[in-house]
Amino acid sequence: MFENFVQKRRYYYIFSGVVIGLGMLAMIFSFATSGKIFPLGVDFLGGSRFEIQFDQSVTEDQVRDVFTQNDITNPAITALRGQDLSNAWQIRTEFVDATKAHSLETALTALAPLVPGTFSVTTVSPAVGKEVTRAALAAVLVSGVVVLFYIMFAFRQVPNSFRYGACAVIAMFHDLFVIFGFAAIMGMISGWEVDALFLTGVLTVAGFSLQDTIVVFDRVRENSARKRSGSFEALVNRSVQETIKRSLITQLSAMFVLLSILLFGGESIKPFIAVLFVGLLSGTYSSIFTAVPLLVSWQEGEIPLISKPA
Amino acid sequence: MNKQRDLIWLALIILVIGGAAWVVFSDNYPVQRGLDLQGGLQVLLEADVPADQNIPREELDTARQIVDQRVNALGVTEPLVQIEGDRRILVELPGIEDPNQAISLIQETALLEFIDTGDQSLPAGTCVRTTLNNGPSRCELPVGAPIDTPIANPAPTYETVMTGAELKLAQSERNQANQYYVSFTLKPEETQFFADYTRQNQGRFLTIVFDKQVISSPRISAIISGGSGTITGNFTLEEAQKLALQLRFGSLPIPLRIESTRLVGATLGEQSVNASIRAGIAGVIMVLLFMIGYYRLPGVLAAIALLIYALLNFAVFEGLPVTLTLPAITGFLLSLGMAVDANVLVFERMKEELARGRKVSESVHSGFQRAWTSIRDSNIATLVICTILWSFGRSFGASAVQGFAITLAIGVAISMFTAVLITRTFVNLVIGGNSDWMTQHRWLLGA
């Protein structure tokens, strides 16, 4: 099935383009409506997030009244859905201090008794939020650069080692765009917010994406060292065929675990697991269908402006 | 010969397993459960000074110690108070009963008071109540008791004259008679008030109270008009120094403000965690079954190596210790995936070599040898990412991010040991050692 796999590279580029394009549309839509490419949580924006569960049903308006009576304008209220989450609510507000949070807890308890041990609050000052955002961007960029140099170093004996590094990094950004798009779409559908854990997911996906790419490239390196006759295309084809099983099996094992947590695990960690799941899926795809074909395109001189035949 | 070397490895591996099992099952190393596993409070404090102002490390550390002392009084089993970056202190109080009390306690900046005890000198250690935030004090309760515990004999209430915030300086000194005493200086704006007060109350006792507990009860022997005075008593050098320190640092050396708080209800956390852990275990069992079904005998050996892997990981988690949160457990599960990956790389290589008609023992050997560079390179890449993640999380106390990075990194490091060394030793002994027999029963190798 993979005999002439690299020859069909244009289709893979188109497929990736469509998937990323959909995500981009969601991001543009989100940007147009809210000014952000995906909904950001309190970790990045600052503010407070309450999670509470009443032991009887209350209406959204009742909850809203509690907050407005405590001088909090525009609380964003959503009902949480899921196993064991009946009458559970999430409320996003501006930054409130500990005293205020406590008086809100009292006021909410007066509305209806809370299920014991279910009052959770996260508050982050806007200053810290800004700093987290900066640190997050720095972390992503540093990861990209470090990894590019690492691969260049690991592949230094191969001609054009920079190309290997660059293709791996492009595949990595491919995956990042996929999960950014995913975050934007899920933000629209389910109101998921991007938090510090999302970023953790992003960097992990980046790491695993590279890992997959490295395994395939490693085979290309090994096969090209043997200096058999035949085109680079054929050599790459063979390398992919030789590693595809491993990629799929490894993928399946990670997927088993993640899917199991996604389906049966707790609510609080689901967005994180979902991001990892989609990211790993994309990572496996991109190592085979983006990084490798790109490398071939580059070697064959198909990339406009920068690419010369090797 | 090779077999001998493998046996030595086997002995070493058994030793390591024994050590790990001891750590995991001994009570000396309890599992540290993070906030999301048992509920609790996380508070990130930041020095409330202009951003461009440098904060001396000693001041930050003194502030940390004071906060540490205060939260210790709450009776939380594993409080964590640590410096994050160069201007923040992270406080984690897992399983705390009354988070609001904890927050107000941490925030309190001036717990040092001077109270009017009239003609009475109170012995050090006495608990009192004061007119400043009047009410029962922590001092009157046994350590760890909830703040609303009824108190049989309430402590008497005294009037607060002044707080530690009015002090500018305090230090221990020694007079000609070799007696130690403490000298203090008031802030200029308080000088007049204190002069008036000491004139009106000369001969009475002005008791010094730290966190509502008497540390010293000196008599006002002279009018203090110049803004500086001394506290004498039968102090030893240590006592004088300690008193001076308490006078100086009773209020925090630097003001702290709360930058972020995270309060996790115990119930929500528990439900989420139990479900996630059960699901994770189910996923891992699926993976093990798959390995065995697909790779047969090597799969069985790899599954055993994976169980050892899990044991070693938990030994490290408990021994270090690593605080386990849901993201941390996720990091571990992902690293488990990488351990599987290493085995898959090796076994796929082995099968490839077998398919090319190589002998069993040769295939085993080159499977491990050839797969090694891939395993090494990809694991190093992951470790690099973990380092970046860890420092990212570290800078603002995102313990969820840190936990994930740490367990993933530990897992990757251990996986190099188990997936390569342990599996190789097992495979060499079981399969390589019976090469001829294996050749006749190739189905056992999944080839």
> Tell me: the pLDDT tens digits for A256-272?
888 888 888 777 788 88
pLDDT (0 to 100) of residue B396:
64
Select the residue from B36, B92, B93, B267 to test the A interface by mutation, using most A Cβ atoms within 10 A.
B267
pLDDT (0 to 100) of residue A310:
45
Q: Do A119 and B265 make contact, defined as CB atoms within 8 angstroms? A: yes
For residues B388 and A139, the answer to whether their CB atoms sit within 8 Å is yes
Residues of B in contact with A142 (CB under 8 A): 388
Torsion of CA B411, B413, B419, B424, to 10 degrees: -160
Edge-first strand order for the sheet with A76-79 is A76-79, A88-93, A47-53, A120-124, B256-264, B40-47, B88-94, B80-84
- Residue B394 corresponds to which tokens in the numbers above? 């570290």
Provide the chain B residues 283-342 that lie in CB contact (below 8 A) with chain A.
283-284, 286-287, 290-291, 294, 326-327, 330, 333-334, 336-338, 340-341
Lowest-confidence region among A85-99, A241-255, B250-264, B394-408? B250-264
Nearest CA among A200, A207, A216 for reference residue B384: A207
- Residue A105 corresponds to which tokens in the numbers above? 């807890």
Q: Nearest C-alpha of chain B: how many angstroms from A264?
A: 6
Provide the chain A residues 190-209 that lie in CB contact (below 8 A) with chain B.
196-197, 199-200, 203-204, 206-208
**Is B327 strand, coil or helix?**
helix
Dmax (CA) for chain A in angstroms is 80
pLDDT (0 to 100) of residue B1:
47
pLDDT single digits (tens) B270-285: 667 777 788 888 888 8
Rounded to an integer, the average pLDDT of B401-411 is 89
Which of A115, A131, A150 has the CB atom closest to B384's CB atom? A150
pLDDT (0 to 100) of residue B166:
77
Task: Write the DSSP string, B63-92.
Answer: HHHHHHHHHHTTT-SS-EEEEETTTEEEEE
Across the A:B interface, residue pairs with CB atoms under 8 Å apart total: 229
pLDDT (0 to 100) of residue B137:
67
pLDDT (0 to 100) of residue A19:
93
Closest alpha carbon within chain B to A104: B100
- Residue B28 corresponds to which tokens in the numbers above? 């000396």
Q: Hunting for tokens 């190093």 — which residue is that?
A: B380
Helices (H), B155-233: 191-200
Residues of B in contact with A117 (CB under 8 A): 39, 265-268, 270
Q: Which pTM does this prediction carry?
A: 0.75
Q: Is A103 on the interface with B (CB under 8 A)?
A: no
pLDDT (0 to 100) of residue B409:
92
Looking at residue B255, the DSSP 8-state letter turns out to be -
Q: How crowded is residue A86: how many other Cβ atoms within 10 Å of its Cβ?
A: 15
For residues A186 and A195, the answer to whether their CB atoms sit within 8 Å is no
Q: Do A121 and B392 make contact, defined as CB atoms within 8 angstroms? A: no
Q: Nearest C-alpha of chain B: how many angstroms from A177?
A: 18
Which of B263, B274, B334 has the CB atom closest to A254's CB atom? B334
Confidence class of residue B111 from pLDDT cuts 50, 70 and 90?
A: low
Q: How far apart are CA B399 and CA B396, in angstroms?
A: 9
Q: Do B100 and A257 make contact, defined as CB atoms within 8 angstroms? A: no
pLDDT (0 to 100) of residue B428:
85
pLDDT (0 to 100) of residue A25:
94
Q: How far apart are CA B271 and CA B264, in angstroms?
A: 12
Q: Do A215 and B392 make contact, defined as CB atoms within 8 angstroms? A: no
pLDDT (0 to 100) of residue B148:
57
Residues of B in contact with A204 (CB under 8 A): 334, 385, 389, 404, 408
Among residues of chain B, what percentage have pLDDT more than 70?
A: 88
Asked if pLDDT for residue A307 goes beyond 60, the answer is no
For residues A207 and A271, the answer to whether their CB atoms sit within 8 Å is no
Task: Write the DSSP string, B360-401.
Answer: HHHHHHHHHHHHHHHHHHHHHHHHHHHHHHHHHHHTTT-HHH
Rounded to an integer, the average pLDDT of B146-152 is 62
Q: Is A109 on the interface with B (CB under 8 A)?
A: no
Q: Do A51 and B268 make contact, defined as CB atoms within 8 angstroms? A: yes
Rounded to an integer, the average pLDDT of A189-218 is 83
pLDDT (0 to 100) of residue B179:
86
pLDDT (0 to 100) of residue B245:
67
For residues A16 and A174, the answer to whether their CB atoms sit within 8 Å is yes
Which of A51, A204, A261 has the CB atom closest to B280's CB atom? A261
Residues of B in contact with A207 (CB under 8 A): 381-382, 384-386
For residues A154 and B392, the answer to whether their CB atoms sit within 8 Å is no
Q: Is B377 on the interface with A (CB under 8 A)?
A: yes
- Residue A1 corresponds to which tokens in the numbers above? 């099935």
Rounded to an integer, the average pLDDT of B92-97 is 80
pLDDT (0 to 100) of residue B99:
76
Q: How far apart are CA B343 and CA B296, in angstroms?
A: 13
Range of A90-94, B311-315, B416-420, B430-434 with top mean pLDDT: B311-315
Lowest-confidence region among A65-79, B139-153, B163-177? B139-153
Residues whose CB is less than 8 angstroms from the CB of residue B199 and which lie 6 or more positions away in sequence, other chains included: B223
Edge-first strand order for the sheet with B129-130 is B129-130, B157-163, B112-116, B206-210, B213-216
pLDDT (0 to 100) of residue A135:
82
Q: Do B400 and A196 make contact, defined as CB atoms within 8 angstroms? A: yes
H/E element, A122: strand A120-124
Provide the chain A residues 54-93 that lie in CB contact (below 8 A) with chain B.
83-84
Q: Is B218 on the interface with A (CB under 8 A)?
A: no
Rounded to an integer, the average pLDDT of A175-185 is 94
pLDDT (0 to 100) of residue B37:
75
Q: Hunting for tokens 């440098």 — which residue is that?
A: B54
Q: Do A242 and B287 make contact, defined as CB atoms within 8 angstroms? A: no
Lowest-confidence region among A74-83, A163-172, A268-277, B300-309? A74-83
Q: How far apart are CA B312 and CA A159, in angstroms?
A: 41
Q: Is A249 on the interface with B (CB under 8 A)?
A: yes
Confidence class of residue B110 from pLDDT cuts 50, 70 and 90?
A: very low
A281 or A116, higher pLDDT? A281
pLDDT single digits (tens) B150-208: 677 777 888 888 877 777 778 888 888 888 888 888 888 888 888 888 888 888 888 88
Provide the chain A residues 212-241 that lie in CB contact (below 8 A) with chain B.
212, 214-215, 218-219, 222
Q: In this structure, is the dihedral angle defined by the CA atoms of residues A296, A302, A304 and A305, taken in order, positive or negative?
A: positive
Residues whose CB is less than 8 angstroms from the CB of residue B99 and which lie 6 or more positions away in sequence, other chains included: B40, B41, B93, B263
Q: Is A101 on the interface with B (CB under 8 A)?
A: yes
Q: Do B388 and A98 make contact, defined as CB atoms within 8 angstroms? A: no
Q: Do B382 and A211 make contact, defined as CB atoms within 8 angstroms? A: yes
Closest alpha carbon within chain B to A47: B260
| ipTM of this predicted structure | 0.80
For residues B268 and A50, the answer to whether their CB atoms sit within 8 Å is no
**Is A150 strand, coil or helix?**
helix
Per the prediction, chain B carries an average pLDDT of 81
pLDDT single digits (tens) A12-49: 999 999 999 999 999 999 999 888 888 888 888 888 88
Asked if pLDDT for residue A181 goes beyond 90, the answer is yes
